[in-house]
Amino acid sequence: MQSDNFNFECEYWVRGSMSSTRTVRVRVNGVEYTKEVEPRLLLVDFIRDHLGLTGTHIGCDTSNCGACTVIMNGRSVKSCTKFAVEADGGEILTIEGLASDGNLHPIQKAFWENHALQCGYCTPGFIMQAYWFLKQNPAPTEEEIRAGLSGNLCRCTGYQNIIKAVKAASEELRAKAPTINGG
Amino acid sequence: MAASLCGSRVKRREDPRFITGTGNYVADVTLPGMVYVKFVRSPYAHALIKSVDTSAAREVKGVLGVYTGADLKSKLGPVPCAWLVPTEPPIKVPEYRAVAVDKVRYVGDPVAVVVAESQGAAEEAAERVSVVYEPLPVVVDQEEAVKDGAPRLYDGIDRNTSFVWRLKGGDVESAFRQAEVVVKQRLVNQRLQPTAMETRAAVAEYDSARSEATLWITSQNPHIHRLLVSAMTGIPEQKLRVIAPDVGGGFGSKIQVYGFEAVVTLLSKELRRPVKWVETRSENYLSTIHGRAHVDYVELAAKRDGTILGLRVKTYANLGAYLTTAAPGVPTILFGIMLSGAYRIPAIECEVHGVLTNTAPVDAYRGAGRPEATYIVERMVDMLAHELGMDPVDVRLKNFIPKDKFPYTVATGLLYDSGNYEETLKKAMSLVGYHSLREEQRRLREQGRLMGIGVSTYVEVCGLGPSKVVRSTGFGLGLWDSAVVRVHPSGKVSVYTGAHPHGQGEETSFAQIAADELGVPFEDVEVVHGDTAMTPFGMGTYGSRTLPVAGMAIVGACRKVVEKAKKIAAGLLEAREEDVVWEHGKFYVRGAPAKYKTIQEVALASYTAENLPPGVEPGLEVTHFYDPTGFVFPFGAHICVVEVDRETGEVKIQKYVAVDDCGNQINPMLVEGQVHGGITQGLAQALYEEAVYDSQGNLLTQSLNDYALPTALEAPTYTTDYTVTPSPVTPLGVKGVGETGTIAATPAVVNAVVDALAHLGIKHLDMPLKPEKIWKAIRRAESEQTTTS
């Protein structure tokens, strides 16, 4: 599967601006979208410019900062490292889709309550990464949280309150989900 | 209602939009018909532009225009520098063009700009602009640049020296004559890349029917941007609206008025289309300002009992290729005047060479001058302690300005407002367990382990500043700030501030202040900022001035509102004004608190306006301009404990204790956030970050792969605490706190690492203290010890 994707990427990257478009069908935050896109279009630009979901940010051009982190097919990905066409047939969750029925997700709430953000630019990426991380590791230690979020950069907070928030969210999520698979 | 909001950990009202992805940053601004810009940048650090061929670029589908520096020269004025420090001979300010005309002077200097229907087309066309350069010799190092025969960036600027700034207080010669010990050291305060997570961006839209432009921009000071972009583009100030919406961090790098945003504004006027420009991270690293970049030669004179007698500093400050907005003021005014630190140093002399080189411009980065000064003072105090065999804490305690001497004038001429340095240090020592740590250090050393304890007792000048003082330093405008407080007929309140919060949380803390001052619920107060069409002219957010200056403008405006409301209330209560008492949002006649008028009732009466006392105008709204009477001086003591891995040279921070004093706190949660983030940036300079140019002026740290920002794995856990010494200067007794962590942490960490290595004979290492550097120093020290023994 992965190597198929890789060939696919190369083929379309090489073709570059020859501007044959491809159809992408993707479910984002529960909404089905069908769009014609250039093969070279990055997933992050697709999300921001084609779907208008500007909560996913761009902070670098080398996939270091994690500001563009989204959940694709159940895994966290830096959406600047994927092409939009790779999302075809898939499912994506962005920061805009995290709250349900107007209720903040426990991670969002914990970020607010623990002053885990300042300028807010890196925040959506951190929250999405924390969302995936806590699914993998619902009861992490501080060290595990630090490692789990080390692919995301924040310049404002010094991380301490982010760690605190993720810890608090993990506790609330566990309290809400009494069984292992209940989340 | 009676309970004070000021001093409470009120949750931020900014956060709901950020945690749901509904913030609005400049890159999120999309307008119908929008077109995109790409700058073509020089790959050479120093070269003549022989020709620019744009024909191939123009053929790319979707390209609307390609402009060279020569095309823009007649339409766009030069980029101004706004802080012309007074020196003899006078400062030399080179001409700075948004797009280079005849010559490029650093890698990344723009030579042309492409506008196209899509970002992709703009980038493709930019690749096809063909520029012929004639490379010239390059100089990147400021000490090299001042030498005879060094490559020269500008005709008429000898030795690439823009200025030599001098400061002298006290009898320095006599101090050094009397000295029983003199400690000398060359200190490198390396160049840093500010790295706000949001790069810079601009969107401009020109309305030709109204001859008006709107510019959305990543700015810490939208009114300054309006003023200077207006000057460059010729669009009159009243016809230019600047909006800095949500801004993803600044750290000083979004103060400057660069050429790029002026070009974008001009192009929107030329093309009658909205124009968007978003910097990539590598462009951000190439041409958004850098910080620090000092080489300091320092001498400290003292007596053998540890009493400091004098300090002499000669600095070579790398200014980069052009002088940006505040550049000359940073390594001079903001640096030299703080060289007394927390100490009674009777004589101080400082000479700063401002040097132009083939590198990106250097300007204000978090702390801006004050971290450089503090690093010198705190390193030298530690070196003195080492030289005398004293505990670094004892040298500090011996030389602190005592708490009963405030206000205190230091040798550099500054008047410190208030302080209690001994208390913060003792509190930090007790929190970290200083004396038992020294014991532990001894034990660990016996086992061959390298543990170090580093202390930093800093003082910061902030609350910039009294206009009369800052004008005397050559700053282009005064440094007051402004507020409009508008009480609506419903009693709800809008507060318009001239500052620009971009992460600091003043939408919350300013609402706390206004709610307390006006006696209205917090929920009833809205804080508006960042739009020049809505807010009064203000100087913006930097230099830890937002609360002590712009916040105090709000206090002043609120108090004037209450004054006016009192007159109206007197009418409503049929009493004389002097008999009316104001308490927690209510007016009543002295002795009769049961019969009262609320501020909301008074507000409504001010708009119905049929019963106003004579001479009182309708409405309840005040504009207040606040010019501080003095600077404020937050201070504190940070103690860092490290262990250095003998085998790898890696530094692990074991403990970090910060005791800060920023006077009265409005929102302790926000203070803590500023301290955490500030320390992290400060320790990152000590251990990780460094902008590196090769000898040909190529920036080797052009991406986040190469520029080492700390992640959650590197950042330690901080223990924070406070003392409270109110400022007598500000109405609420507050000081600033935005930069304290960055100022304090760098020397605390370096002192800790050097302390860990001191017994090996290592006296100093320049930052960043990367494992390789430490490992080499240890090996060298060990081999020297073997040779000697």
Domain borders along chain A are: 2-97, 106-176
How far apart CA B245 and CA B251 sit, in angstroms, is 16
- Interchain pair A155, B251: CB under 8 A: yes
pLDDT for residue B465: 82
Task: Output b/e per residue, B414-430; b: 16+ Cβ within 10 A.
Answer: bebbbbbbbebbbbbbe
Q: How far is CA B553 from the centre of its chain?
A: 20
Whether the CB of B679 is below 8 Å from some CB of chain A: the reply is yes
- Interchain pair A150, B715: CB under 8 A: no
pLDDT digits (tens, 9 = 90+) for A125-146: 999 999 999 999 999 999 999 9
**Distance (Å) from the C-alpha of residue A47 to the closest C-alpha of chain B?**
12
How far apart CA B514 and CA B494 sit, in angstroms, is 9
How far apart CA B130 and CA B50 sit, in angstroms, is 11
HSE, side-chain direction, 13 A CA sphere, residue B399: 33
DSSP string, B324-365: -TTGGGTTTHHHHTTTTTTB--SEEEEEEEEEE-SS--B---
Given a cut of 90, whether residue A162 has pLDDT beyond it is yes
| Chain B residues close to A65, C-beta within 8 Å | 197, 281, 704
Given a cut of 70, whether residue A181 has pLDDT beyond it is no
pLDDT for residue A102: 87
For residue B448, cis peptide bond before it (omega within 30 degrees of 0): no
What pLDDT band is residue A4 in, cutting at 50, 70 and 90? very low
pLDDT for residue A1: 36
User: What is the architecture of the domain spanning A106-176?
Assistant: Orthogonal Bundle (1.10)
Which stretches does DSSP call E strand in B34-127? 35-41, 47-53, 63-68, 103-104, 110-116
Q: Other CB atoms closer than 10 Å to residue A7's CB: what's the count?
A: 9
Give kind and range of the element (H or E) at residue B508.
helix B506-518
Higher pLDDT, B667 or A176: B667
Token pair, residue B318, equals 């790398």
CB-nearest to B504 from A64, A96, A118 is A118
Q: Other CB atoms closer than 10 Å to residue B332's CB: what's the count?
A: 28
CB-nearest to B712 from A55, A61, A162 is A162
Torsion (CA) B240, B245, B249, B252 in degrees, nearest 10: 20
- Interchain pair B705, A149: CB under 8 A: no
| Chain B residues close to A79, C-beta within 8 Å | none
pLDDT for residue B784: 87
The amino acid occupying position A167 is: K
Give kind and range of the element (H or E) at residue A129.
helix A123-136
- Interchain pair A158, B27: CB under 8 A: no
- Phi, psi dihedral angles at A38 (to 5 degrees): -70, 140
Tell whether the torsion through CA atoms of B474, B475, B478 and B480 is positive or negative.
Answer: negative
pLDDT for residue A178: 64
A2-97 falls under which CATH superfamily? Beta-grasp domain (3.10.20.30)
Residue with tokens 């709204």: B621
Mutation pick from A101, A144, A155 vs chain B, by most beta carbons of B within 10 Å, is: A155
| Chain A residues close to B20, C-beta within 8 Å | 55, 95-96, 98-99, 104, 108
Number of H-type helices and E-type strands within chain A: 6, 5
Given a cut of 80, whether residue A5 has pLDDT beyond it is no
Nearest to B300 by CA among B363, B376, B355, B361: B376
| Chain A residues close to B17, C-beta within 8 Å | 120
pLDDT for residue B186: 98
Given a cut of 80, whether residue A14 has pLDDT beyond it is no
DSSP state of B547: I
B750: left (phi over 0), alpha (psi -120 to 50) or beta: alpha
Torsion (CA) A73, A74, A78, A82 in degrees, nearest 10: -10
Q: Which residues pair with B597 in a beta bridge?
A: B587
Give kind and range of the element (H or E) at residue B182.
strand B181-192
- Interchain pair A119, B22: CB under 8 A: no
DSSP state of B548: I
pLDDT for residue B3: 64
- Interchain pair B20, A155: CB under 8 A: no
**Distance (Å) from the C-alpha of residue B247 to the closest C-alpha of chain A?**
7
DSSP state of B405: G
Token pair, residue B483, equals 């507020």
Task: Give the number of residues written for chain A.
Answer: 183
CB-nearest to A118 from B503, B709, B718 is B503
CB-nearest to A157 from B196, B677, B717 is B677
Mutation pick from A40, A119, A142, A163 vs chain B, by most beta carbons of B within 10 Å, is: A119
Whether the CB of B509 is below 8 Å from some CB of chain A: the reply is no
DSSP state of B402: P
CB-nearest to A160 from B11, B681, B718 is B718
**Distance (Å) from the C-alpha of residue A181 to the closest C-alpha of chain B?**
26
C-alpha distances in angstroms, B477 versus B218, B287, B325, B637? 21, 25, 12, 34
| Chain A residues close to B248, C-beta within 8 Å | 57, 59, 119-122
Q: Other CB atoms closer than 10 Å to residue B532's CB: what's the count?
A: 25
How far apart CA B43 and CA B60 sit, in angstroms, is 22
One fold for A2-97 and A106-176: no
Given a cut of 50, whether residue A8 has pLDDT beyond it is no
Domains in chain B, CATH or no CATH each: 31-136+201-278 (3.90.1170.50), 137-191+290-401 (3.30.365.10), 428-456+632-789 (3.30.365.10), 480-626 (3.30.365.10)
Token pair, residue A63, equals 């996939």
Residue with tokens 């007074």: B86
Pairing of strands A91-93, B240-243: unpaired
pLDDT for residue B786: 77
Please list the ranges in chain B whose pLDDT falls under 70: 1-3, 788-789
Mutation pick from A19, A118, A162 vs chain B, by most beta carbons of B within 10 Å, is: A118
Q: Which residues contact B743 (CB under 8 A, 6 or more apart)?
A: B367, B370, B371, B374, B458, B460, B678, B682
- Interchain pair A157, B673: CB under 8 A: yes
Whether the CB of B670 is below 8 Å from some CB of chain A: the reply is yes
**Distance (Å) from the C-alpha of residue A54 to the closest C-alpha of chain B?**
6
DSSP string, B240-266: EEEE--B----TTTTTS--HHHHHHHH
pLDDT for residue A3: 41
B87: left (phi over 0), alpha (psi -120 to 50) or beta: beta
* Average confidence (pLDDT) over A69-97: 98
Token pair, residue B322, equals 């052009």
Cα end-to-end span (Å), chain A:
28
Crossing angle for the helix pair B421-432 and B392-399, to the nearest 10 degrees: 160
CB–CB contacts below 8 A, A to B: 176
Nearest to B545 by CA among B508, B497, B512: B497
For residue B768, cis peptide bond before it (omega within 30 degrees of 0): yes
For this complex, say whether ipTM is above 0.95. yes
- Interchain pair B705, A62: CB under 8 A: yes
Nearest to A59 by CA among B249, B365, B712: B249
pLDDT for residue A11: 43
Nearest to B638 by CA among B712, B720, B717: B720
How far apart CA B72 and CA B204 sit, in angstroms, is 17
Q: Which residue of B has its CA nearest to A158?
A: B677
The amino acid occupying position B395 is: V
CB-nearest to A117 from B15, B705, B709 is B15
Nearest to B220 by CA among B586, B486, B529, B552: B529
Given a cut of 70, whether residue A7 has pLDDT beyond it is no
Torsion (CA) B158, B160, B163, B166 in degrees, nearest 10: -100
**Distance (Å) from the C-alpha of residue A124 to the closest C-alpha of chain B?**
6
- Interchain pair A160, B709: CB under 8 A: no
**Distance (Å) from the C-alpha of residue B376 to the closest C-alpha of chain A?**
24
- Interchain pair A67, B197: CB under 8 A: yes
| Chain B residues close to A117, C-beta within 8 Å | 15, 18-19
Nearest to B362 by CA among B192, B189, B151: B192
pLDDT digits (tens, 9 = 90+) for B520-577: 999 999 999 999 999 999 999 999 999 999 999 999 999 999 999 999 999 999 999 9
Crossing angle for the helix pair B259-271 and B222-233, to the nearest 10 degrees: 60
How far apart CA B73 and CA B95 sit, in angstroms, is 12
Whether the CB of B629 is below 8 Å from some CB of chain A: the reply is no
| Chain A residues close to B679, C-beta within 8 Å | 158
Q: Which residue of A has its CA nearest to B247?
A: A119
Average of per-residue pLDDT values in chain B: 97
CB-nearest to B19 from A59, A65, A108 is A108
What pLDDT band is residue A22 in, cutting at 50, 70 and 90? very high
| Chain B residues close to A52, C-beta within 8 Å | 30
CB-nearest to B248 from A40, A56, A119 is A119
- Interchain pair A111, B15: CB under 8 A: yes
Mutation pick from B13, B18, B669 vs chain A, by most beta carbons of A within 10 Å, is: B18
Residues 62-121 of B with CB under 8 A from A: 120
pLDDT for residue B785: 79
CB-nearest to B19 from A121, A123, A156 is A123
| Chain A residues close to B21, C-beta within 8 Å | 53-56, 94-96, 124
Whether the CB of B34 is below 8 Å from some CB of chain A: the reply is no
How far apart CA B456 and CA B428 sit, in angstroms, is 10
pLDDT for residue A180: 52
How far apart CA B367 and CA B460 sit, in angstroms, is 9
- Interchain pair B197, A146: CB under 8 A: no
Cα end-to-end span (Å), chain B:
74
pLDDT digits (tens, 9 = 90+) for A110-124: 999 999 999 999 999
